[in-house]
Structure 1
Amino acid sequence: MPVPVLAVLARVYVDDLDAALPTFVELTGEQPRLRFTYRDLDLASVGGYLLLAGSDEALAPYRGTHATTVVESLDEVLRLTAEHGGKIVDGPNEVPTGRNMTVRHPGGATIEYVQFHAAARSALHRPEQ
């Protein structure tokens, strides 16, 4: 059974979120839909990007993660991970946008999965043009 994927966000690691945002706003033609802090990081989603800002030390544990995938159900990702021999690297955790976990899949891809709570999920949808 496929896991319903709501969005895939390319991760961009930056040292200063305020300095980076104007470029991504102009690039995508969108304003940040989500902006929040988590641990020692500042994050924002703009278009199909998730910008993560912090010091080299703060970003170090996250740099090996290739993408963030917003899913309908984290439980389905847990099932798929067990079924296919993946490894849970971190989580599940409560995060500002809902629940997340990071999985290393067979073959080496490391993906963060997030199940958004209602407020974050509504921010995921683009405003009508």
Structure 2
Amino acid sequence: MRILKTLSRVYVEDLDEHLDFYEKLLGMKVEMRIPMPDVGLELAQIDDILIIAGLEQALQPFKRTQATFMVDSVEEYEAFLVNNGSEIVRGPQKVPTGVNMTVKHLDGSIFEYVQHNLE
């Protein structure tokens, strides 16, 4: 059970409008870009930044989430977190990159846990 990477989240309306800035700022290119039309969002990852783009109405349910933890096993983290008093806000579900869940920690902070498929 390991957290492999922590992604800071940036919320924007138009992804294309902001990608160039973050690529120049970080000196890196987009590693991953994923449309999520079912929820009206598009995601892009540049190093440790996750840019989440969409209209305000689509972004609103996600804005309380402080960061994304990329983990080796969502299943193991779910058991650990429940046994240690955290609340599962959205249980494990398949997403384009693998499996994710959203969790509210004891201090009230909300985090996404995501396990990427290695395929």
TM-score (norm 2): 0.95
**2: CA distance between counterparts of 1:115 and 1:95?**
10
Letter in 1 for 2:92: P
CA–CA distance in structure 1, aligned partners of residues 93 and 27 of structure 2: 32
Measured in 2, the distance between the counterparts of 1:62 and 1:7 equals 19
Mapping of 1:1-129 within 5 angstroms? 3-38=1-36, 39-119=39-119
**Letter of the aligned partner of 1:32 in structure 2?**
V
Deviation at 1:91, TM superposition (A): 2.3
CA shift digits 1:42-96 (9 cap, x unpaired): 1000111000000000000000000011000011111111111111111211000
1:127 maps to what in 2?
none
In 1: Cα distance, 2:100 partner to 2:32 partner: 16
Where do 5+ consecutive residues of structure 2 fail to align? Answer: none
- For structure 1, list consecutive stretches of 5 or more residues without a partner in the other structure: 120-129
Moved more, 10-19 or 76-85: 76-85
- Total equivalences in the alignment: 117
Q: Runs (4+) of structure 1 moved beyond 6 Å?
A: none
Fraction of identical pairs, as percent: 40
Q: Match for residue 124 of structure 1?
A: none
**Structural RMSD (CA):** 0.8
Inter-partner Cα distance in structure 1 for 2:26 and 2:64: 25
Q: TM-score, normalised by structure 1?
A: 0.88
